[in-house]
Chains A and B, each alone.
Chain A
Amino acid sequence: MAIINLKKKEVQAKIVYYGPGRGGKTTNLDYIYKKFRSRIQTEMVTIKTHGDRTLFFDFLPIEIGRIKGYDIRIQLYTVPGQVKYESTRRLVLRGVDGIVFVADSLSVRRKENVLSLKSLAGNLASYKKSISEIPLVFQYNKRDLLNEGIPLLPVEWLEKDLNSKLKAPSFEASALKGPNVVETMKKIIIMTIESLRKDLT
């Protein structure tokens, strides 16, 4: 749930990058942080395990600025992807306003994508939120590996597996190299702020 302070005219929205482990959630935030550090002027917080895996979450606040008289702040979070951290994922989802589902395009990760999306739906339901109603964007990550001859899932399969009912916007991306990382983020920010707009008037 976004924090909207009508008196101070401040809005703080929470967007969570969700998806299977090793799918590229942290890499998305890393890319944004490294590329636009001088403009966003905030610090990224990350807590990792020894093996460079996300332990709790990554956190990147972004000041969007004043729109229609409101100071808008976006908080980007990632969840740990490893199966064993289900309770942490649920905790990070608390108060979420928008979600980017980062699917792993590797052929061997097909099952993990589906399981992760199910876990997302279940965790949202525990907060009385529906996956079909919350602002949601799919990102099919690691598409650059196609050029390297690595077997990837066709986008049509990913769409069928994950997005056939939800019909959410989706992007083919490479979090490591950058294509569509920013577009994904822009899309979810716009969708999220629009969903909050009715509370601002």
Chain B
Amino acid sequence: MAQQKDKDDFRSQVEDRLEHLFREDSLEATDERAGLVEHPLKGLKAVMLSIDWEITDSTMDSLLNEIKNVEFIYGEDKIILTFLQLLRSIGRYVKANKGRAHPEATRLINSVYESLERVALTEGMSRPEKEKMLLKEVSKFKKLKERVMLRKAEKQQPVASEVTPPPALAPESKEIRREEIPVWKEAHEEPRPEGRFSEMSPHEAFAYALEEIKDVIRAEFRALRAEIKLWRESK
């Protein structure tokens, strides 16, 4: 009897102490975002949650498909379209490289989605605020691209690592294609995913294709110059 009383007393003392220590009298952080129940990002969010450490072709394909769906819905919103373009670029890179992808890529894909969700669902967010968030993610993306290029350059030059060429001179990465990299001006222009090609007038499509070809030739020349430089330095 006394033993039971002692046990109860002990338990109640522990409970009181925990109650005192962890009473939830402070305000919970409020989430100003609207719910996702009937929101077009619902599917994309589900895919984002299912992308795990084991990134598979199937989950990445689902991501790319969901991006297309959301893109269709937000066809008029250039800021959201640029966010989606960022997601697509990183998604393709991760899909192509999986475990070999730069570790920062998985973090960035989550960060871009978080910002996208905030921009899409926060009521009353001003355009400058949205643009600021987008710029931040674009800047992170560019940094990632530089790191990927640098890493690739380092791999190609294991012996003379102390003369690592600056990113601008590094060979163009094959892991992130140049035409996939959004630049800030594209936030103010119509994005150029392949699906929209058919919507262009013939002269627009021709001009677009010409720009693409120029970009490819420039990239090839840059890569060639970097290769020649590396070859000369190794002599």
Contact = CB atoms under 8 A, between A and B. Distances in A.
Contacts of B18: 64, 186, 189-190
A106 B45 CA distance: 12
A189 B14 contact: yes
Contacts of B52: 21-22
A178 interface: yes
Contacts of B188: none
B72 interface: no
Residue among A149, A151, A177 with max Cβ neighbours from chain B (10 Å): A149
B107 A51 contact: yes
A49 B99 CA distance: 14
B46 A150 contact: yes
Interface residues of A, number: 38
A50 B21 contact: no
Interface string A141-156: 0000101111100000
Interface in A79-136: 82, 106, 108
Interface stretch (B5-13, B153-161, B200-208, B218-226): B5-13
B194 interface: no
A178 B110 CA distance: 21
B107 A21 contact: no
A178 B45 CA distance: 20
Given A50-B103, A53-B53, A190 B11 contact: yes
A14 B36 CA distance: 39
For chain B, what secondary structure do more than half of its interface residues adopt (helix, strand, loop), or is it mixed? helix
B22 interface: yes
B97 interface: no
B50 A106 contact: yes
B14 A67 contact: yes
A193 interface: yes
A7 interface: no
Contact of B49 (A40, A145, A185): A145
B107 to A, nearest CB: 5
A8 interface: no
Contact of A67 (B10, B22, B106): B10
B35 interface: yes
For chain A, what secondary structure do more than half of its interface residues adopt (helix, strand, loop), or is it mixed? mixed
A129 B19 CA distance: 30
A53 B52 CA distance: 11
Contacts of B46: 149-151
Interface string B19-50: 10110101010010001111000100110011
A39 B21 contact: yes
A51 B21 CA distance: 33
B22 A197 contact: no
Contacts of B38: 149
A197 B7 contact: yes
Nearest to B43: A149
A4 interface: no
Residue among A51, A53, A62 with max Cβ neighbours from chain B (10 Å): A51
A22 B53 contact: yes
A169 interface: no
Nearest to B102: A50
Contacts of A197: 7, 10
A64 B35 contact: no
A62 B26 CA distance: 19
Contacts of B15: 186, 190
B22 A182 contact: yes
Interface of A: 21-22, 32, 35-36, 39-40, 49-53, 62, 64-65, 67-68, 72, 82, 106, 108, 145, 147-151, 177-178, 182, 185-186, 189-190, 193-194, 197, 201
- Please provide the 9 A-B residue pairs with the shortest distance between their CB atoms, ordered closest to farther: A50-B103, A148-B36, A51-B106, A186-B18, A149-B42, A182-B22, A67-B13, A51-B103, A108-B50
